[in-house]
Structure 1
Amino acid sequence: MLRHIVLFRRNPGGRPDHDKEQALTARMAGLGSQIPAVRKWFFAPNELQRAISWDYVLEAEVDDAQALDAYLFHPLHQALVADLKPYFEWAAVDYTAP
């Protein structure tokens, strides 16, 4: 299994838009069930505000690098990424799950 972890935070200096953020995070929360390559999906908001904290975490598991590519280049994922870019920045880590 390959684990895909992504941290999201609002773009620095951007204006918070509660309705837009709620719509985007709802799409993120439901995306995993719409893409066959995804085996496990977990999305959650940060609960503790610290200087090093990000706003949301996404944890996904896929079979291998080929399945990760199937997810990353899936049209639903690509459409969401295009909508996320103006509002969020993110960092990702991919590793083989023990």
Structure 2
Amino acid sequence: MSMRHIVLFRRKADVPRNPALEQALVERMETLGSRIPCILDWRIGANEMDRPICWDYVLESEVADAEALNTYLMHPLHQALIADLKPYFEWAAVDYTIKA
């Protein structure tokens, strides 16, 4: 068994759109998965539909277990990215065990 970590991101409603900043943040999210050893799988996708219910991006990742997830969450590279994401994006997360 392993754990899946899913995060939805969207630009905060009160923050003006900044395409260059957004692209830089997404690129940092895309590369983070290869820089933290406990991550088994890592994907970032951009929303393709224009519906009010949709968020802008989804992160899907997989780690071995809850301990590995906590290691990832507390990793300095992750913490640095979070600090830069907070002013621009809001997010929601779900973490669950993948059953065989």
Alignment TM class, shorter chain as reference: over 0.9
For residue 88 of structure 2, what is the amino acid of its counterpart?
Y
Give the drift of 1:43. Answer: 0.4
Which amino acid in the other structure matches residue 85 of structure 1? Answer: K
Gaps of 5+ in 2: none
Once residues 65 and 47 of structure 1 are traced to their aligned partners in structure 2, the CA distance between those partners, rounded to angstroms, is 31
1:12 CA drift (Å): 0.8
Q: CA deviation at 1:49?
A: 1.3
TM-score, normalising length: structure 2:
0.96
Superposition TM-score, scaled by structure 1 size: 0.98
Q: How much has 1:97 moved relative to structure 2?
A: 1.3
Provide the rounded CA distance (Å) in 2 between the counterparts of 1:39 and 1:47.
Answer: 26
Aligned length: 98
Runs of 4+ in structure 1 displaced over 3 angstroms?
A: none
2:34 partner SS:
helix
Q: Distance in 2 between matches of 1:49 and 1:96?
A: 31
| Aligned residue in 2 for 1:18 | 19
2:71 alignment partner in structure 1: 70
Deviations 1:76-97 (A, max 9, x none): 0000000000000000000011
**What is aligned with 2:97?**
96
Distance 1:93 1:71 in 2: 15
Opposite residue 52 of structure 1, the aligned amino acid is I
Identity of paired residues, percent? 61
Residue 76 of structure 1: SS of its match in structure 2? helix
Query: 1:51 offset after TM fit, Å?
Result: 1.0
Letter in 1 for 2:94: V
